[in-house]
Amino acid sequence: MKLIVISNPTSIHSEAQIVNNLFNEGLRYFHLRKPNESEESVEKLLTQIHPSFYPNIALHQHHQLASKFGIKRLHFPEHQRMQTVKDELKIKTSKGFTISTSIHQIEDLEQVSFFNHVFYGPVFNSISKKGYESKVPADFELIKPQNAPNVIALGGITHQNLHQIKRMNFDGVALLGFIWQKPENVINQFKTIQSTLKIL
């Protein structure tokens, strides 16, 4: 399964070093999501991340920074996707960008077939957002329409429920709360997920 780490929404101490360490431990996909951070703040963080990792980073905000850092992955939060003309999004893919988005209804998969992958959740009760509760039944099974993008499970993902995610037929998982609850434990938490995925 594809493994994605989403950044902590606010800045934390030694964040760039932690991100570099995650990549050095084998992380392949990092989503830089800072919904309330300025462009200057996000740019500063990027300058502290090793340039060799830029191809593996997706920007959720301040897409204009992509050209400056050679980043070819863009995420369009649901509200932004709804406000963007579909042809504009398709142009991004024709220019070599990998694009992703978020959905909150499985039925929406048919509308986002031209995206490379989508986040769907919360699959379990969110760790990072209190009160953001699971919206799928325990016996849920993902049945994708033809030409649907990869669907990434989001919300409450831990090493203890990865087997359920696999049974539900998701294409991957996105980690947020499990990873960033205690910044000093980020690498150990990531390794725990890595190890669990290898034996599934």
Model confidence at 42, pLDDT cuts 50, 70, 90, reads very high
Q: Is the pLDDT of residue 38 over 90?
A: yes
Model confidence at 159, pLDDT cuts 50, 70, 90, reads very high
pLDDT per position as a tens digit, 85-105: 888 998 999 999 999 999 988
Model confidence at 56, pLDDT cuts 50, 70, 90, reads very high
Per-residue pLDDT at 17: 97
Question: How confident is the model over 166-190, as a mean pLDDT?
Answer: 96
Q: Of 24, 25, 27, 30, nearest to 6 (Cα)?
A: 30
pTM recorded for the entire structure: 0.95
pLDDT per position as a tens digit, 128-156: 877 778 888 989 999 998 889 999 999 99
Q: Is the pLDDT of residue 30 over 80?
A: yes
